[in-house]
C-alpha cells in the first residue's frame, strides 16, 4: 500500500473501532433495560398475606391493640417470608353505632420484590381498599351507611413523607401508628420530609392521629430486619440499593 492509501485505511479502521465501541455501549445500556415499555403496573400481596386477609375478614375488632397486633404481625411475617420490607398495614371499617370494626384490606411493603419505590405497607393497603370499595376515596361514599361508618388505617410504623400524603388523600378518618419515624431511621431508612406540621395538617383535614400503640413490639421487628434486610432508601449512602 502506498503512503497515500495508508491514511484513508487508518481512518477506516479507526472509524470501525469507534463504531464497535459505540455499539458495545448501546448493547450494555440496552441490557439493563432490555424489555418492552410497560403500560401496566402490578400491585399484589404475597400469597400468605392474601390468606391472612381472608382468615381475618369476618373477625370483629374492638380495641386499637388487637388491630395493631395484626399490622405488626404482617410486618414480621413479611420479613420472615422474605416478601418485602418490615412494614405492615391494615385498614378497618368501623361501625360508629356499635364501635366495632372489620378488616377490609391489608398491605405489606413490596418495594424491592416488585421494583416499585411507591409500594409501602400503607400505600398498598390504601390502593387495595379503594379497589375493593371501587372508589378513589374512603370518605363521602355514595352509600346509605355513609354516616354510620368510617375507615381507619393501622400501620406498624409512622408513615414516611409519601405515605403521609397518601393518607391525606385516601379519605381515611384515622391513622394509628406503632413504631416511630426515629425507630425506622435508627436502622437506616430515610423517611423523607415529615414534620410536626404534617400531622397537624392531617388533623386539620379531619384525620385523627393516634401514635405509639404497641410501639416496642413494632420497633423489635424493625431492629430484627435491620440486622439482615435490604435498606432500600438508606440515609447512609453506602447502604442504599438503587
Ligand atoms: Zn411510606
Q: Where are the domains of the chain?
A: 1-35, 47-239
Give the range among 34-48, 92-106, 166-180 with minimum mean pLDDT. 34-48
Do 163 and 122 contact (CB within 8 A), yes or no?
A: yes
Give mean pLDDT, residues 213-219: 98
Q: How many angstroms is it from 109 CA to the middle of ligand 1?
A: 9
Q: How many angstroms is it from 97 CA to the middle of ligand 1?
A: 32
Q: How many angstroms is it from 163 CA to the middle of ligand 1?
A: 4
Q: How many angstroms is it from 120 CA to the middle of ligand 1?
A: 5
Q: How many angstroms is it from 26 CA to the middle of ligand 1?
A: 36
Give mean pLDDT, residues 222-226: 93
Reported residue count of the chain is 242
Q: How many angstroms is it from 2 CA to the middle of ligand 1?
A: 71
CA atoms within 13 A on the CB side of 188: 20
Q: How many angstroms is it from 122 CA to the middle of ligand 1?
A: 6
Q: How many angstroms is it from 166 CA to the middle of ligand 1?
A: 9
Q: How many angstroms is it from 118 CA to the middle of ligand 1?
A: 7
Query: Has residue 73 got a pLDDT over 80?
Result: yes
CATH of 47-239 among 3.40.140.10, 3.40.50.150, 3.40.250.10, 3.40.50.720: 3.40.140.10
Q: How many angstroms is it from 167 CA to the middle of ligand 1?
A: 10
Q: How many angstroms is it from 160 CA to the middle of ligand 1?
A: 4
Each residue's pLDDT tens digit, 97-106:
999 999 999 9
Query: Has residue 26 got a pLDDT over 80?
Result: no
Give mean pLDDT, residues 173-202: 95
State the average pLDDT for the chain. Answer: 86
Task: Name which of 31, 1, 229, 237 is nearest 111 in CA terms.
Answer: 229
Cα–Cα dist 77/66, whole Å: 16
Q: How many angstroms is it from 240 CA to the middle of ligand 1?
A: 16
150 alpha-carbon distance from chain centroid: 23
Q: How many angstroms is it from 158 CA to the middle of ligand 1?
A: 8
Q: How many angstroms is it from 136 CA to the middle of ligand 1?
A: 19
Amino acid at each position: 500500500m502506498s503512503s497515500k492509501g495508508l491514511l484513508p485505511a487508518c481512518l477506516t479502521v479507526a472509524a470501525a473501532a469507534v463504531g464497535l465501541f459505540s455499539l458495545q455501549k448501546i448493547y450494555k445500556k440496552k441490557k439493563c433495560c432490555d424489555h418492552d415499555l410497560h403500560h401496566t403496573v402490578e400491585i399484589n400481596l404475597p400469597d400468605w398475606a392474601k390468606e391472612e386477609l381472608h382468615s381475618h375478614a369476618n373477625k370483629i375488632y374492638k380495641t386499637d391493640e388487637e388491630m395493631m397486633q395484626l399490622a405488626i404481625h404482617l410486618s414480621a411475617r413479611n420479613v420472615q417470608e422474605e416478601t418485602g420490607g418490615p412494614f405492615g398495614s391494615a385498614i378497618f371499617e368501623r361501625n360508629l353505632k356499635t364501635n366495632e370494626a372489620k378488616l377490609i384490606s391489608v398491605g405489606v411493603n413490596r418495594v424491592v420484590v416488585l421494583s416499585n419505590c411507591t409500594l409501602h405497607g400503607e400505600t398498598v393497603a390504601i390502593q387495595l381498599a379503594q379497589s375493593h370499595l371501587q372508589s378513589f376515596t374512603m370518605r363521602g361514599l355514595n352509600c346509605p351507611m355513609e354516616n354510620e361508618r368510617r375507615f381507619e388505617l393501622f400501620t406498624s410504623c409512622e408513615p414516611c413523607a409519601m405515605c403521609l400524603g397518601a393518607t391525606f388523600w385516601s379519605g381515611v378518618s384515622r391513622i394509628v401508628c406503632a413504631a416511630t419515624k426515629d425507630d425506622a431511621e435508627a436502622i437506616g431508612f430515610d423517611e423523607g420530609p415529615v414534620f410536626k406540621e404534617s400531622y397537624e395538617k392531617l388533623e386539620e383535614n379531619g384525620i385523627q392521629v393516634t401514635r405509639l400503640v404497641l410501639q416496642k413490639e413494632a420497633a423489635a421487628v424493625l431492629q430484627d430486619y435491620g440486622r439482615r434486610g435490604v435498606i432500600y432508601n438508606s440515609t447512609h449512602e453506602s447502604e442504599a440499593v438503587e
